[in-house]
Structure 1
């Protein structure tokens, strides 16, 4: 879960934007700035010179006939007579190039906006367009510069622009600086936008600020309770702060609402039951979805089911799944664990078969296995068999002392019962 590759890729597709902030702590406008903005809005409209006007008109005619290349050719051959003409012309050229060549469009739009002589509306739209194109081209620092210039120029608090600034910072992996613009996007949105919260969540996660990540996702599930993935995020993020009880609660809500779909999600629910010392529910969830095919049957899952049933003292179930694990892996320890589960429910013949299967596959712990077999035989009253297993246990230095302590006991029991060992 520490990787978050799934979350990072999902939010980038969903948001189509990104973050960082050395220059962008906050675009603060003074009274003088606002006065300048109003003055720009009210400035008398400037018209291009006759030659530029005719050229632009002709280019528009060609553009309307879907002859973009021909329209560009007309515009590129025109020379303006002053700064406004040149900016006016560059803006139209940039707008046409935006449909076919982003880098050229950026070049001309930067030329158009640099002298700040266009009309208020044209200057504003050109600043935003060049920023959008720069973001598309991966020029995130330049995009941030022009988005900020747009905010200063217009004085507007557009949540989409803040989101785009945030997205560019995110792409620059300047995660800690994502927070100011994304908080502005949240603040100025008329209605909650899940993409804003997704991006904030991702930035906090990548900054390893897990407590704040949890706080954001807690807000997300309150605002967007129908978003199943947010409940999964919440359950997973609670584990990062080791709050397993809340993690289980989040996963239970998600499960009860049918939000858990993938194998990983269902496994996580089971894991949270286990982490909260509810092993029976852990095993039952694993078993249910193993049988349905949603969870793959493999060594790890069979071990989890068996061990959780054993922890829940459901020894017959534990023996069943240790048996399946043994059949799948041919592992000696799986047979030994199955045998111990059978011992717990006094199914001694089944336990002895499993112990024999253990010895057939691994003799490294033979002494301990033989001592367990001694116990199984004694519980059945089979003193000869118990004594034979005891002699095998005496050969193992790890269990020789324990076996010797049992020997007199078995001899005496046999004598009393008149059994010849």
Structure 2
């Protein structure tokens, strides 16, 4: 897309060529002479003198006045005096006295200046008027793009999309700036499904730009299409796009949700603080545990617990599950809080070690802290086990006698 400045320079060039071509027949003799003089001074880069020649004119003919105002507007713009340029060009346009080509070029110039000055509300009526009759040597797609841009700046999102539709009918080539305008309006209107094809077109143009991948995955999650979001982030990663730390966390979560916890753990390992942040260590431990990689999970739970003692309980539970009962008991001694749960865990550990008396002691402690079905069941069961042990011991003593 051409810059506003280049467009204005082109408009001015066309306008000046048009002025010199028709000056004699259309203007009064006196005004025509002054116009030619001013035009020559402008060509000689004597802009101040050219403006002075025109500014002192007070034409009696309405057409002469409109023509001079138009020319003054061009010169003021070249001098950087945009306010004066707008005043004079507006009067020339509103006169309705310039012929068709001159009127169109003048109004286009005025609209472009207003746009460059961020006067979007004033620019829009002119652009819409220009679209009604476009000379063959002018580009209609540029007008609709400027209309879209103006509405975008005014946060009029629906007209943005209407203008972009007209633009895309005239210009089939994908470019980043127009697509970004379209995407912005779609996102503001929460037209998630429509935004996805726009983002795909942007990804084709800028495959290494992270924001397009992020927004695509974000919308897919918004639409509850987690598999698509996973595919998007995974593809971005494979293509070498530098995902953010949060993107990696999201990717790991998506892998886990899709039943690929090992991949989730490996993705988390790529995060900067993966080896030092206790929560990240705990998350890796959880994913390895879901992957049934018990030893690896225990390793990460140990690292997490060393950083934050709140993870000690998860470590102790996994040690119990994997039959490391004595190590589990050591970890349980360091667990804070969870008094009833810790006592019941000790019960299980001592029971597995066949230390039923100790198991019963801790079952009673658990019951005293919080009486539950589990604590009561353990007490009943272990009491029976103790009686059986005592009976077996008595029988062994009788047999020995």
TM range (shorter): 0.7 to 0.9
Aligned residues: 371
Residue 224 (1) aligns with residue 228 (2):
no
For 2:351, the equivalent position in structure 1 comes to 378
Structure-1 separation of matches of 2:279 and 2:53: 70
- How far apart are residue 286 of structure 1 and its match? 0.9
**1:318 is matched with which residue: 265, 288, 297?**
297
For 1:246, the equivalent position in structure 2 comes to 228
Residue 139 (1) aligns with residue 112 (2):
no
For 1:392, the equivalent position in structure 2 comes to 365
Structure-2 separation of matches of 1:231 and 1:72: 53
Structure-2 separation of matches of 1:310 and 1:411: 35
- How far apart are residue 304 of structure 1 and its match? 3.3
Correspondence list, 1:62-211, <5 A: 68=47, 71-99=50-78, 100-154=80-134, 158-211=140-193
- How far apart are residue 371 of structure 1 and its match? 0.7
Contact 1:316 1:341 in 2 (8 A): no
Residue 404 (1) aligns with residue 357 (2):
no
Deviates more, 1:298-307 or 1:174-183: 298-307
- How far apart are residue 227 of structure 1 and its match? 5.2
Structure-1 separation of matches of 2:314 and 2:34: 88
Structure-1 separation of matches of 2:296 and 2:31: 86
- How far apart are residue 113 of structure 1 and its match? 1.4
Deviates more, 1:277-286 or 1:87-96: 87-96
Deviates more, 1:160-169 or 1:209-218: 209-218
| Cα RMSD, aligned residues only | 3.4
For 1:286, the equivalent position in structure 2 comes to 268
TM-score, with normalisation over the residues of structure 1?
A: 0.76
For 2:8, the equivalent position in structure 1 comes to none
Residue 358 (1) aligns with residue 330 (2):
no
Deviations along 1:25-53, one digit per CA (max 9) or x if unpaired, are xxxxxxxxxxxxxxxx9xx9354445544
Deviations along 1:364-417, one digit per CA (max 9) or x if unpaired, are x31012112221232233434433432321222254x42232124334445555
User: Quick one: structure 1 residues 417 and 190, their matched pair in 2 at CA, closer, same or farther if it must change by over 3 Å?
Assistant: same
Structure-1 separation of matches of 2:101 and 2:368: 95
TM-score, with normalisation over the residues of structure 2?
A: 0.79
3-state secondary structure, aligned to 2:133: helix
For 1:369, the equivalent position in structure 2 comes to 342
3-state secondary structure, aligned to 2:333: helix
Deviations along 1:195-227, one digit per CA (max 9) or x if unpaired, are 332222221221112122224334555x53735
Structure-2 separation of matches of 1:395 and 1:201: 63
- How far apart are residue 97 of structure 1 and its match? 3.2
Correspondence list, 1:245-284, <5 A: 245-284=227-266
Q: Any unmatched runs of 5+ in structure 2?
A: 5-17, 394-401
3-state secondary structure, aligned to 2:22: coil
Structure-1 separation of matches of 2:197 and 2:38: 54
